């Protein structure tokens, strides 16, 4: 009984707390700020300072055999990148192309197709060749054909040079005709290698006659002028 009386006294002296939860209609609304779209380039530019708006990808690579479809892709890429340099405003520095090579080799005809396009492009655009892994057979000329002073090779890259090879069958006149064509191709190959390396014709012919395959490490590749420096 005493507890009930005390309880009532407390209720009178200390009335129940007022509800402090405002209804949704009465809740104050914060002003909505306009959010402007920000591009990825702007975000990167703010984070990286002078970062370019778009990455300048001027890198091509041969990581397979030297064959017609792959060489078609590479020559088209080279011609496109060279054309991009042509379209630069006057006075703006032209940008080089980096050409990574890692191949066992392939067709001599396709090798010369790529070689000739490289010579054409390098009249306006530098091609920095970079040998990695293995650069063999038809790949060696492509490595050596880059812009002089800008040809690099990986420290663990293996290089292999050999004679032009072919397999044919048929009657004697046909074989004689094919042999003549191969000999001309061999002469063209040796001439191109001499033009782009430190090999003399006499030295290269001697090596090719002594060994079926001539293997070089990175230091030897630089020594003989297939590359200019080791990465």
Q: Which sequence positions are flagged as catalytic?
A: 137, 162
Secondary structure letter of residue 17 according to DSSP:
P
Q: Map residue 60 onto helix, strand or coil.
A: strand
> Of all helices (H) and strands (E), which one includes residue 2?
helix 2-13
Contact 44, 51 (CB under 8 A): yes
Please state, in angstroms and rounded to a whole number, the distance separating the CA atoms of residues 122 and 147. Answer: 7
CB proximity list for 137: less than 8 A, separation 6 or greater? 66, 103, 104, 105, 106, 160, 161, 162
CB proximity list for 58: less than 8 A, separation 6 or greater? 81, 95, 96, 97, 98
Count of Cβ atoms closer than 10 Å to residue 58 Cβ: 16
């Amino acid at each position: 009984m005493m507890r009930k009386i005390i309880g009532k006294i407390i209720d009178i002296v200390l009335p129940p707390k007022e509800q402090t939860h405002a209804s949704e209609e009465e809740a104050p609304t914060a002003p909505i700020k306009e959010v402007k779209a920000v591009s990825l380039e702007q975000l990167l530019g703010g984070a990286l300072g002078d970062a370019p708006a778009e990455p300048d990808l001027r890198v091509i690579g041969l990581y397979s055999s030297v064959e017609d479809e792959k060489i078609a892709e590479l020559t088209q890429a080279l011609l496109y990148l060279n054309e991009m340099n042509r379209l630069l405003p006057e006075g703006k520095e032209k940008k080089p192309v980096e050409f990574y090579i890692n191949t066992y080799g392939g067709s001599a005809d396709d090798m010369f197709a790529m070689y000739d396009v490289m010579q054409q492009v390098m009249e306006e655009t530098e091609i920095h060749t970079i040998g990695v892994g293995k650069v063999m057979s038809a790949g060696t000329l492509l490595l050596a054909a880059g812009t002089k002073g800008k040809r690099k090779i990986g420290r663990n890259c293996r290089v292999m040079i050999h004679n032009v090879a072919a397999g044919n069958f048929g009657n004697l006149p046909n074989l004689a005709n094919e042999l003549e064509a191969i000999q001309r191709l061999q002469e063209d190959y040796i001439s191109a290698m001499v033009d782009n390396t430190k090999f003399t014709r006499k030295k290269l012919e001697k090596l090719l006659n002594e060994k079926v395959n001539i293997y070089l490490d990175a230091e030897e590749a630089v020594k003989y002028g297939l590359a200019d420096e080791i990465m």
